[in-house]
Amino acid sequence: MQIAIHNWMRAETLESTLQRISALGYSHLEIQGAPESYDSSQVKELLEKYNIQCWGSVTLMLEERNLLAKDPDQRKRSVEYVLDLAQMVADLGGKVISFVPATVGKIIPDARPEEEWEWAVEGVKEVYEFTEANGLTIGIEPINRFETYFINRGAQALALAEAVGPNCGVCLDTFHMNIEEVDMFETIRQAGSRLVNFHVADNNRLAPGMGKLNWEKIMATLKEIDYDKILSVEFCPPIDRTPANPYPNSIDEAPEGLSPEQLKFLQDHGSTAVTEDFYTMLTQRSIDQLKPYLQ
């Protein structure tokens, strides 16, 4: 296994991210799902400069992006967004699309379960045709009930993957599993060969090792199922605004390059723009915790 990290958790240039993670020993990047923000040729040059490979990208299902929308035009636009993201990943030599089908932050359905299921399968299948033709893999990602009502558990993600096609996989996330699964280790076993990506953060969504999750058992269970791909770091620290804050000066009061949508996404996840020192500490703690398990 090797270690990747996302770059949506802090407002900074891509080069700043790559410079940091290269120095700390990361080998891969799971690039922010904002294809409109990147020039693939420039990104490739930066990846080569810092000897980092693109692992893939994660869909940012914000605002109107929703495969379950009643409006067929909205569903069509949502699929087009994921196809644009998949094209970016293909252009960058990546492998995986971590795919959340419904709008993040929307927790009330608009249609009947059977309608939504049909739309989800239909939309993911359209993306699947592209990924199959371009050497990419989809990983359906369950996220917790406070962020979506649709796919919260590994069994649900597996059901959708199986309905889409034999090479459609799942992406599991330790933070979300800690909330939703009865037994996260059994969920990993059930995913088996369909596990194509694995997101890592602790139970408090700080860096691995800064909470209570049993990382030795998590890694042992991944080895049980012969998972040999990427551990993709995706912390999103809860910001303490009280005098009890154990990490003073962690809030970036003047973030640069952060769109209103991105700021809202961070705030909705219990965080906000964070300072470079705090972010670097979390990035360092993550790889320090995980590196011993890569042998």
Q: Would you state the pLDDT for residue 288?
A: 97
Q: Cβ neighbours of residue 205 under 8 Å, at least 6 residues apart?
A: 175, 235, 236, 237, 238, 269, 270
Q: Which single residue is written with the structure tokens 């558990």? A: 153
Question: What is the C-alpha to C-alpha distance for residues 64 and 185, in angstroms, rounded to an integer?
Answer: 34
Question: What is the C-alpha to C-alpha distance for residues 286 and 60, in angstroms, rounded to an integer?
Answer: 23
pTM greater than 0.85: yes
Burial of residue 183 (CB within 10 Å: 0-12, 13-18, 19+) is exposed
Q: Do 116 and 73 contact (CB within 8 A), yes or no? A: no
Averaged pLDDT of the chain: 93
pLDDT digits (tens, 9 = 90+) for 201-228: 999 999 999 999 999 999 999 999 999 9
Q: Would you state the pLDDT for residue 258?
A: 64
- What's the average model confidence in pLDDT over 192-200? 98
DSSP 8-state assignment for residue 294: G
What is the full DSSP assignment across 157-219?
A: HHHHHHHH-TT-EEEEEHHHHHHH-S-HHHHHHHHGGGEEEEEE--TTSSSTTSSS--HHHHH
Indicate the pLDDT class of residue 269, thresholds 50, 70 and 90. Answer: low
pLDDT digits (tens, 9 = 90+) for 232-259: 999 998 888 888 989 888 887 776 666 6
Of 37, 24, 101, the closest CA to residue 65 belongs to 101
* DSSP reduced 3-state for 52: coil
Indicate the pLDDT class of residue 111, thresholds 50, 70 and 90. Answer: very high
Query: 141: left (phi > 0), else alpha (psi -120 to 50), else beta?
Result: beta
Question: What is the C-alpha to C-alpha distance for residues 237 and 250, in angstroms, rounded to an integer?
Answer: 10
DSSP 8-state assignment for residue 93: T
Q: Would you state the pLDDT for residue 240?
A: 84
Q: Would you state the pLDDT for residue 32?
A: 93
Q: Would you state the pLDDT for residue 242?
A: 87
CA 73, chain centre distance (Å): 26
Indicate the pLDDT class of residue 294, thresholds 50, 70 and 90. Answer: confident
Question: What is the C-alpha to C-alpha distance for residues 120 and 116, in angstroms, rounded to an integer?
Answer: 6
Q: Cβ neighbours of residue 136 under 8 Å, at least 6 residues apart?
A: 56, 86, 89, 90, 94, 95, 96, 97, 130
- What's the average model confidence in pLDDT over 127-146? 97
Indicate the pLDDT class of residue 76, thresholds 50, 70 and 90. Answer: very high
pLDDT digits (tens, 9 = 90+) for 9-47: 887 889 999 999 999 999 999 999 999 999 999 999 999
Q: Would you state the pLDDT for residue 238?
A: 83
User: pLDDT above 70 covers what percent of the chain?
Assistant: 94
